[in-house]
Chains A and B, each alone.
Chain A
Amino acid sequence: MEMTRRSFALTGLTALTGLALGGTSLSAFAAGKAGTLRYGTVTEVTNIDPHIYAGNSWKVLIGVLYSPLVTFDTKGEIVPAVAESWEQPDAATIVFRLREGVTFHDGSALTADDVVFSLERIRDEATGATLRGYLVDCTIAKVDERTVEVKKSEPDASLLSVLALPEAAMVSKAWVESGVNIKSQANGTGPFTLAEYESGVRARLAANPSYFIEGEPKLETVDFRMIKSDDARVSALRSGQLDMIDFVPWKDIDMLARMPNFEVDSASGAFMSVWFNATRAPFDDPRVRRAMAFAVDREAISRAAFFGHGTPIFSAPTPEDSPYYNADLKGTVSLDIEKAKALLAEAGHGEGLDMELIVYQGLGIYTTTAQILQANLKEIGVNVSIRLVEWSDLVSRKNGADYDAMIYGVSMKLNDPDAYSYYLGSESAYWAKPIGYRDETLEALLDEGRQLTDQGARKAVYAKAEERILETMPWIFINYREQAQAYTRKVKGYVHLGGALSEAAPAISLPKIALD
Chain B
Amino acid sequence: MTTTFLSTFLRELGSRRNLAASAALLFLLVVAVLSAAAPLLPIQDPLAIDTLNILSGPSQAHWLGTDELGRDILSRIIHGGRISLGVALSAVLLAGVLGTLLGVLIGFCGPRVEAVAMRLIDVFVSLPEIFVALIALALLGGGLGTLIGTIGLIYCPQFARVVYNMTRSIRAREHVLAARSLGAGRLWLIRHEALPNLYSIIAVQASVTFSFALLMEAGLSFLGLGVQPPTPSWGQMVGILKNYIYINPWSAVFPGLALFFVVLAVNLVGDLLQDVLNPELRK
Contact = CB atoms under 8 A, between A and B. Distances in A.
On whether A and B touch (CB less than 8 Å), the answer reads yes
A389 B49 CA distance: 23
B69 A368 contact: yes
B224 interface: yes
Interface of B: 47, 49, 51-52, 54, 68-70, 138, 141-142, 224, 228-230, 240, 243-247
DSSP class of A's interface residues: helix, strand, loop or mixed?
helix
B68 A364 contact: yes
A368 B68 contact: yes
A393 B141 contact: yes
A303 B51 contact: yes
B69 A251 contact: no
A371 B224 contact: no
Given A389-B141, A393-B141, A371 B230 contact: yes
Given A251-B247, A364-B243, A372 B228 contact: no
Contacts of B52: 303
A455 to B, nearest CB: 40
A471 interface: no
B51 A372 contact: yes
A252 interface: yes
A367 B240 contact: yes
Nearest to B143: A387
Given A385-B228, A388-B224, 9 more contacts: A304-B51, A361-B224, A370-B229, A371-B49, A371-B230, A372-B51, A386-B230, A389-B141, A390-B138
A389 B143 CA distance: 11
Contacts of B69: 304, 368, 371-372
A125 B141 CA distance: 31
Interface in A451-466: none
A304 B56 CA distance: 12
Contacts of B138: 390
Given A374-B230, A390-B138, A393-B141, A304 B247 contact: no
Contact of B229 (A234, A251, A367): A367
Contact of A364 (B141, B228, B230, B240): B240
A372 B243 CA distance: 18
Contacts of A303: 51-52
A251 B68 CA distance: 11
CB-CB nearest 8 A-B residue pairs: A304-B51, A300-B51, A375-B49, A371-B230, A303-B51, A361-B224, A388-B228, A304-B54
B246 A252 contact: yes
A336 interface: no
A73 interface: no
A314 B54 CA distance: 24
A367 B230 CA distance: 9
B49 A230 contact: no
A439 interface: no
Contacts of B243: 230-231, 364
Interface string A6-43: 00000000000000000000000000000000000000
A370 B244 CA distance: 18
A390 B140 CA distance: 11
B161 to A, nearest CB: 34
Interface string A371-383: 1101100000000
Contact of A386 (B54, B141, B228, B245): B228
A255 B51 CA distance: 19
A356 to B, nearest CB: 11
A251 B240 CA distance: 14
B142 A304 contact: no
Contacts of B54: 304
Interface in A100-127: none
